[in-house]
Amino acid sequence: MIKPGLPTTFAYGKWNNKEKLVFALPGNPVSTWVVDSRSNGCPLGSVRDTNRPQLIALLKENNFKCVDIGILPDEKEKIEEGLKAALTLCDVAVCSGGVSMGEKDYLKDVLQKQLNFTIKFGRVMIKPGLPTTFAYGKWNNKEKLVFALPGNPVSTWVTAQLFLLPTLKKMAGWEHNQHTVISVRASAHFFFCRYRSLFSGGKRI
């Protein structure tokens, strides 16, 4: 039984090897990342979904199974249906988008009001990744976790590395579940925000 708490406290939870779930929640203007060869690419007015394939690849690279239930529309009822399906299939649900301050960002509201989940945190003082959300609760009398990552592809990748992967590795009993930290000298100046930790991309030279 995994007890509720911050992701860093899950080292002692029992891992039952159930499938992990990945689904995108970025809204209506997003086009699927699988494009028909007869089409001309991404439909006009849409953006290509890169978050699902990168999350799926990241989980598979680390030997975690995942199920993809696709893109959900910006409707509370559809979001609720998608979350219920996700929580029925798995112990940990992962989504991308729908957690910022937009008019159609309903995910937090659905988690709290429709599913009676507790949001442990809904903002983290990092850049990128400010709206990262983590929630827990019971579904079908079983403890469930929800990681709601930002919709920006870079933010999704960074927060998956910082929050999602270490949690899953701890739950799976990995001895080394944190990233290796090394000290390097930057070739350029960085301007930091005093209130947010910066995670910037770089290239080793």
Contact by Cβ (8 Å): 135, 117: yes
Quote the percentage of the chain above a pLDDT of 70.
Answer: 79
Q: What is the mean pLDDT of residues 117-124?
A: 97
Helix (H) or strand (E) segment spanning residue 78? helix 76-89
Parse the chain into domains and list their residue ranges. 7-198
The domain 7-198 belongs to what CATH superfamily?
MoaB/Mog-like domain (3.40.980.10)
Contact by Cβ (8 Å): 163, 131: no
pLDDT at 156 over 80: yes
Q: What is the mean pLDDT of residues 188-199?
A: 82
Strands 47-48, 30-31: pairing is parallel
127 contact partners, CB below 8 Å, separation of at least 6: 193, 196, 197, 198, 199
- Say what the pLDDT of residue 15 is: 46
Can you tell me which residue has the tokens 């925000």?
193
Separation between Cα atoms, residue 144 and residue 2, nearest integer Å: 8
Q: What is the mean pLDDT of residues 71-76?
A: 87
Strands 133-139, 118-121: pairing is antiparallel
Is the four-CA dihedral 96, 127, 3, 66 of positive or negative sign?
A: positive
Separation between Cα atoms, residue 158 and residue 154, nearest integer Å: 6
